[in-house]
Amino acid sequence: MDALTAGAPANAGNTSSALQALQSARAGMSRHEARTNGALVDEAIAHAEDIVADVADGITFDQLKAARTAIGYRAFDRNASPAERQYFGDVYAALTRDMDASAAAIGPDAKQAFTKANNYDRRLRNDASVFGTAQVDEIANKPFDAQIFEQFEKTKKAGGQKLTVLRKQIEAAGGADTWDQLVASSVERMGTKTDADGNAVFDPAMFLKNWTKTSKETKRAMFSGTTRAAYAEDLDRVARVSARLGKYGKQGNHSNTSNHTLMRQVFEPFNLATGAFAGLTGALTGNLYAAGGAMLGGPTLKGANYLIQRNHANKLLDPQFVNMLAGVPNAQMQRGGVRKYLVDYGTKLGTVAARTEFSQYLRDIGAEDLAEQVMKAAK
């Protein structure tokens, strides 16, 4: 990556927009908000102003990368307040988009290298999700905990009854948090494999297949009474819908065609029966597809499903996103259908960074008009 970007110029168009948004938020604060969070937003504004000025002075891509790293320490500090994480997270997200645009301007190799490096970095930092790797790595980096985890995996294969006994022992010794961390690690392992380059990657189709094969008793032992119980129920629904869509895709003349086509787009990057979709092939193998875009009243579907899988694969580890997926089938029967449901979900996300990431997902599945609506409505 460094060899491709050495000395290359940077841009800060997105960071400049984020700066303006922060300044507007600061100007609109009440007295109490200003007293509580004013200093934090002022600090984020100052950092963004410096970065925008530095880019105007001609700093390089690598210097912009260093600036983003420094902002990231504030954006992902687990001890920081929610407000601090949001303000600096918004700047971090804008810097990421600027780095992406800068890498694309350098050339396709730089763009591909940045996307790969950024996805890996995001995966390591993803403690916003209760299944983020931050919790998993805490276990993996401790030998004793690693031994417990292997015992957990071995007992899980033996069935729900034995796993329930182990859970009581672990919670008695280490508390509910220890159990939650073990479950988080186990869930991620269901979809983790090694790619041709030797890198650990998350495969959503593999994940859903392994999830489906896990018995109800085992899932009950893992999730019952935990904060993740609703996630498990939602994921069961997502797995059922994915399998059902594969079979349904073989049929013709569906009612409510526009909603159903968009629904298939939403699920396809994660679908365990992707190969059965009518007119859609190889979503997780890198092949291109094109089908039904005109039905959406918008742009035609994009071809790069491999890119979708790489960029959004681990969304199945995000309970909030999975909850949204689980609601898609019912949404197609409601007023406004799936289109309104997706826009409403995106505009209600709590941070600019989260809305931007979801908008990129919408763009990657071919729903660019919905992505624009999310970003416009959130301003």
pLDDT (tens digit per residue) in 164-216: 998 998 888 778 888 888 888 889 888 888 877 777 777 888 888 899 999 99
The confidence score (pLDDT) of residue 185 equals: 84
The confidence score (pLDDT) of residue 133 equals: 41
Query: What are the residue boundaries of the structural domains of the chain, listed by start?
Result: 2-125, 133-223, 229-377
**Weakly modelled stretches of the chain, pLDDT under 50:** 1, 120, 124, 127-144, 248-255, 272-308
The confidence score (pLDDT) of residue 283 equals: 28
pLDDT (tens digit per residue) in 47-104: 999 999 999 999 998 899 889 989 988 887 767 888 898 899 899 989 988 988 888 8
* 2, 26, 108, 364 from 301: Cα distances, Å: 33, 39, 22, 9
- Identify which of 295, 286, 346 has the alpha carbon closest to the alpha carbon of residue 320: 346
Place of tokens 């190969």: 275
How many whole angstroms separate alpha carbon 207 and alpha carbon 319? 14
The confidence score (pLDDT) of residue 152 equals: 87
* 12, 219, 342 from 239: Cα distances, Å: 41, 14, 19
The confidence score (pLDDT) of residue 239 equals: 84
